[in-house]
Structures are given as structure tokens and as C-alpha cells.
């Protein structure tokens, strides 16, 4: 009997073992395979124990790597974490929840400027999206000390937020964020905030624009540097990644808001949009993909995700399908090696492109990003295309040339957070080396820009030829390096205005424009910072011009159209 009982027990144990193995096998079958985002996307979940050491090592590599080749994105699955997440160059932090509060990081997700002794004026190319933070570092303050080419989106700071690190800082972008406490802008020279909510805003230097925000700061232009526009007239929030309860990946494409909006999009449980499965995206990799393979996938109807890295393109990436979605992870960089356009978008509606760094190659490109062919004429009023976090550069990392960084030919395009930069430092930086004539050219009608930064191009920084244009926030610095007035002029005019509205335009409005100059090589002068036709439908609201330094006798003669005082010494001029 005892032997029989032993056999029975062994058999029972065997059944249990088999059942466990079957359960594990079924779980393995049900568990979705992780998409291949490449080696530079690090995916974390709360059960992991070595996250801090891994992210510390990457930060040490990227903290000073302004023109390096590393590109990284951190994905955090829903849950609670205790971490100090520091961001250097070309780094993105992404929460994978359906709400920012689904990923809660206690500690910090921060951009500091210790490597420059607090000077954050070159803290470029880093971003945060779709997370919540409980700050316990830096005296329990979240520090996001950045300048151009950055973004903080869809983020909940459960405390206070500083936009500086006790040194200089030079502009940034915030959208769809909630800060429970106070935002202190400190030394931020300019800043653009859209559809965000905070308890209090403290600070302001030259040019701060608040669009569709709750609790904007008190004070009126020009005594205070604030431009407040109550509602955002038209927006579709940037698409974002998330995972469902089963671990399947999707890209949420939020709905279009066209009736005027205030505050965050995620403040209520109802967050309508279209959840697109990840298998409808082609995941491109820089070591194996070029324009040919990417275009083949797009032609088959796939959307596109560019995983982190540097892509050398033999020809343009062509986005031809309406409602196509193209997203970059961790600042993927597109370089046209043969002088072509890097990306061409057809004259179709509903396209969404975001999170890409375009870098000019050694052979001159006519454009780096072209939206619509020159003959574009279709109306996309019911289904506009959106472009988010688009950054272009020529020089800095290497010699690069382009006639224009971005040209918009299509109608009803909305773009936000564009930094178009002819480099003023780094490699290949000379008047006859990193040559770019114009930063942005707009030929389409009814084009809207939220947060436009254009710097150091050799002609107009912005040339706007379409009617119905709307611009909310403009930051621009003229080129440092014109070698002489004879080489920096056109027709009978000295220099080039930064912001030029074409002579035939009848309808154009812009709010909160800052134009600055530092002419380091010669005593050159720009006749005007801004030029527009004199037409009833044109209004430029709140302008500041500043001469930051430079050769004696250099500067800007007028603010706009021959009006407004000169900035020919270290001084500032404002126009309402």
C-alpha cells in the first residue's frame, strides 16, 4: 500500500509539473512578441532592478555628445518607478500608458546643464512624452533646462518645474502638459507653451507666448514679455505609442480639435482617437534601411516608424498616402547624401510626421523637407496635415548645404515646434561652407505654425508667400557671420529681414515675434527685422528686437517696415 501511495504521489506531482509547463507554454503563446525597435530603444517595466545603472551609463555617454552619433529612446511600461532619469543629447523618454499618469516616476526626469556650468543655451535635441513625475531631486523641483530642438509633451509634473539650471537658457517648447505647482522660467529668454495647465507661472525675459493655457501669467505687453492667446484654434495632438493590458503595441492618433481648445487633452477619461496596431507600421532601422526599402513599405500602405540612428538616404523618402503617420524615435537623423530632398510629402490630407532631425548633406539639397509639390492647390480644410518636432541643421556635425530647410507648398498644413538651424558652431561652419539661403518658405494658403524657431540662414530666415498664414511665437537670430555689407544685401536693401511676408499677400497674422542679432565679422546692418505689405488683413502683434552684441556699428535699423527704433548698440526695441 505504501508503495502504491508513493506512486500515486509521484504521478500527481508529474501532473502538476505538466500543467505548469502547459500553462507557461500557453502564456508564452499568448504573450505578444516585442516589436523590433532596434538596440537603442530600451524598454523598461517596474519589475526590473538594473534600470538606474543602464540609464546612467547612457547619460554619461550622451551628456556632452552635442554632435555625436548616439541616438536613444527609453520606453517605460505602465507602473511606478523610482529613478533619476537624466537626458543628454538625442535622448527621448516615452511613457507607454494610455494616460501620462499610467507611468509614474518618483525622482526626476530632468535636463541639467552641469556640463556647461549651468549654461543651458546648447541643451538641444531631447524630449519627454506621456509620463508623470514626482520630483524628489533638486529640492523637489523638476528641472527641464533646455533650449531649441526640445519638447516636453503630454507630461504631468506632480510638483514644481524649473526651466533653467541657474545659468543662461534660450527657449523651448511645451504642449499638453500639467504642472501641479509653479513653473519658474528663470533665465529663459523665450518660451512657447500650448494647451497646458499650471498653478502659477513665474518669470519672463524677452518673448513668452501662451496659447490655450490655463492660468497664464499676469501682465501686459510691452511692460511684461507676455503674449496670451486664449484658445488654440486648430490642433491634433502628436500621435503617441502605448500598450494595452495584453502587451500589444499601438500608436494612438488623437482626433482633430477644430473648435478652439484650452488646457490638456487628457484631463478627462474620454480621450478619443484612432488606435493603430503596430503591425501597420514599418519599423525602419538605420543599419539596414534606406530610401528604397522605406518607400517600398510606404507604397504598400504601411505607416512608418524610424528607430533611433542616422539614415543616409540615396533619394527622397516619399510620403504619398493620405492619413499616413511617420514617427521618429530618439531623434533619428535623415541625411540626403546625393543632394536630393530628404523627405517629400505629396499634396494629400491627414498626413502626420513627427520627431525627426533632418541634416543637410555635403551636396546642396533644394529642401530637406518638402510638403507638397510646387503646383499644390487642393484644399485640405477638413483634413489638414500636421508636422511635429521637426528639426533641421546644416553644419555642426559636418559640412552641409541646402537652399531651404523646409518648404510648405500644400494648403491647410499645421506645423509645431520647428527649429531650423544653420549652425553657428561645430564642424563645417563658415560663410561659404554650411550655406543655407532660407529656413522656411511657405507658399501654401491657410498654413498655421505653433512655435517657430529659425536661425542664422544667409537670406530671409522665413519667407511667407501664402495667404491666410497664422504664426504663434517666432524666435529668430540673424546670421553671425556675414563677411561684409556688400555680400549681405539684396536689391537696394541692407541685409535681409528675418521674417518676410511676400508683397502679394493680403491676409497674415502673427503673435509674439522675437528677432535678435550678433554680427561678429563686419559692421553690417539689416534695414528691418520684419517686412510685410501694408494691407488691412495683415497684423503682426508683439515684436521685440534685440542686439546681443557684435562688431561696433552693426545691428538692425528698424523693427518693421521702416518703423520702430534701431538696435545699433546693446539695446532692445519693442513694438505692440
Task: List pLDDT tens digits, range 317-373.
Answer: 999 999 999 999 999 999 999 999 999 999 999 999 999 999 999 999 999 999 999
* Residue 103 β-bridge partners: 79
The CA-CA-CA angle for residues 559, 563, 568, to 5°, reads 50
Question: In sequence order, which ranges of 389-506 are alpha helices (DSSP H)?
Answer: none
Phi, psi for 159 (deg, rounded to 5): 165, -150
pLDDT in tens, 483-532: 999 999 999 999 999 999 999 999 999 999 999 999 999 999 999 999 99
Q: Check the CA dihedral 318-323-328-329 and report its sign.
A: negative
Give the other-Cβ count within 10 Å of 292's Cβ. 11
3-state secondary structure at position 14: helix
Give the other-Cβ count within 10 Å of 366's Cβ. 13
Residues 6+ apart with CB under 8 A from 69: 310
> For the chain, which residues score pLDDT lower than 50?
1-29
**CATH code of the domain made up of 41-229:** 2.160.20.10
pLDDT value at position 271? 64
Give the other-Cβ count within 10 Å of 346's Cβ. 19
pTM of the model: 0.94
pLDDT value at position 33? 81
Which residues are catalytic, by number? 477
Question: In sequence order, which ranges of 390-486 are alpha helices (DSSP H)?
Answer: none
pLDDT value at position 126? 98
- State the CATH class of domain 308-575: mainly beta
Distance of alpha carbon 328 from alpha carbon 37, whole angstroms: 11
Cis peptide before 477 (omega within 30 of 0): no
Q: Which of 424, 413, 544, 573 is nearest to 475 (CA)?
A: 544
The CA-CA-CA angle for residues 368, 369, 371, to 5°, reads 150
Burial string for 379-413 (b: 16+ CB within 10 Å, else e) reads ebeeebbbbbbbbbbbbbbbbbbbbbbbbbbbbbb
Numbered ranges of CATH 2.160.20.10 in the chain = 41-229, 308-575
H/E segment holding residue 51: helix 51-62
pLDDT value at position 268? 77
Asked whether 221 and 234 are in contact (CB, 8 A), the reply is no
**Residue whose grid cell is 540626403:** 336
pLDDT value at position 30? 57
H/E segment holding residue 292: helix 291-299
Amino acid at each position: 500500500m505504501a508503495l502504491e501511495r508513493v506512486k500515486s504521489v509521484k504521478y500527481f506531482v508529474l501532473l502538476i509539473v505538466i500543467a505548469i509547463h502547459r500553462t507557461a507554454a500557453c502564456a508564452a503563446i499568448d504573450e505578444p512578441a516585442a516589436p523590433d525597435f532596434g538596440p537603442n530603444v530600451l524598454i523598461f517595466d517596474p519589475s526590473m532592478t538594473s534600470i538606474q545603472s543602464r540609464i546612467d551609463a547612457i547619460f554619461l555617454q550622451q551628456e556632452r555628445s552635442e554632435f555625436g552619433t548616439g541616438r536613444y529612446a527609453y520606453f517605460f511600461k505602465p507602473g511606478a518607478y523610482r529613478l533619476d532619469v537624466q537626458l543628454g543629447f538625442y535622448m527621448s523618454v516615452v511613457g507607454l500608458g494610455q494616460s501620462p499618469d499610467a507611468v509614474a516616476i518618483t525622482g526626476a526626469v530632468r535636463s541639467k546643464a552641469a556640463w556647461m556650468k549651468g549654461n543651458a543655451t546648447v541643451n538641444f535635441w531631447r524630449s519627454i512624452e506621456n509620463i508623470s513625475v514626482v520630483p524628489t531631486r533638486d529640492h523637489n523641483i523638476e528641472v527641464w533646462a533646455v533650449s531649441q530642438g526640445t519638447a516636453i509633451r503630454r507630461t504631468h509634473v506632480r510638483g514644481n518645474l524649473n526651466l533653467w539650471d541657474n545659468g543662461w537658457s534660450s527657449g523651448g517648447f511645451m504642449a499638453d502638459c500639467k504642472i501641479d505647482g509653479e513653473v519658474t522660467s528663470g533665465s529663459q529668454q523665450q518660451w512657447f507653451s500650448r494647451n497646458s495647465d499650471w498653478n502659477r507661472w513665474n518669470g519672463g525675459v524677452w518673448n513668452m507666448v501662451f496659447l490655450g493655457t490655463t492660468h497664464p501669467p499676469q501682465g501686459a505687453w510691452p511692460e511684461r514679455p507676455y503674449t496670451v492667446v486664449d484658445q488654440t484654434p486648430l490642433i491634433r495632438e502628436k500621435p503617441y505609442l502605448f500598450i494595452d493590458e495584453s502587451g500589444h503595441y499601438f500608436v494612438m492618433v488623437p482626433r482633430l480639435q477644430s473648435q478652439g481648445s484650452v488646457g490638456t487633452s487628457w484631463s478627462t477619461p474620454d480621450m478619443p482617437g484612432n488606435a493603430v496596431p503596430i503591425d501597420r507600421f514599418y519599423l525602419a532601422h538605420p543599419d539596414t534601411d534606406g530610401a528604397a526599402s522605406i518607400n517600398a513599405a510606404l507604397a504598400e500602405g504601411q505607416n512608418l516608424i524610424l528607430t533611433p540612428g542616422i539614415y543616409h538616404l540615396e533619394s527622397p523618402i516619399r510620403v504619398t498616402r493620405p492619413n499616413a503617420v511617420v514617427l521618429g524615435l530618439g531623434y533619428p537623423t535623415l541625411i540626403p547624401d546625393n543632394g536630393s530632398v530628404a523627405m517629400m510629402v505629396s499634396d494629400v490630407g491627414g498626413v502626420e510626421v513627427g520627431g525627426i532631425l533632418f541634416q543637410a548633406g555635403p551636396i546642396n539639397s533644394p529642401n530637406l523637407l518638402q510638403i507638397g509639390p510646387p503646383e499644390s492647390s487642393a484644399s485640405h480644410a477638413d483634413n489638414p496635415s500636421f508636422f511635429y518636432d521637426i528639426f533641421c541643421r546644416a553644419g555642426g556635425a559636418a559640412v552641409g548645404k541646402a537652399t531651404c530647410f523646409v518648404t510648405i507648398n500644400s494648403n491647410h498644413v499645421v506645423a509645431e515646434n520647428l527649429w531650423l538651424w544653420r549652425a553657428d558652431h561645430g564642424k563645417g561652419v563658415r560663410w561659404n561652407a554650411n550655406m543655407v539661403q532660407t529656413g522656411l518658405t511657405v507658399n501654401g494658403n491657410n498654413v498655421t505654425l505653433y512655435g517657430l524657431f529659425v536661425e542664422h540662414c544667409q537670406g530671409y530666415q522665413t519667407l511667407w508667400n501664402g495667404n491666410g498664414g497664422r504664426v504663434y511665437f517666432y524666435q529668430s537670430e540673424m546670421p553671425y557671420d556675414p563677411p561684409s555689407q556688400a555680400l549681405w544685401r539684396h536689391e537696394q536693401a541692407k541685409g535681409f529681414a528675418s521674417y518676410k511676408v511676400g508683397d502679394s499677400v493680403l491676409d497674415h497674422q502673427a503673435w509674439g515675434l522675437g528677432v535678435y542679432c550678433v554680427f561678429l565679422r563686419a559692421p553690417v546692418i539689416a534695414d528691418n527685422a520684419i517686412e510685410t505689405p501694408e494691407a488691412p488683413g495683415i497684423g503682426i502683434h508683439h515684436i521685440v528686437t534685440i542686439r546681443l552684441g557684435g562688431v561696433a556699428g552693426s545691428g538692425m535699423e528698424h523693427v518693421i517696415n521702416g518703423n520702430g527704433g534701431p538696435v545699433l548698440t546693446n539695446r532692445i526695441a519693442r513694438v505692440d
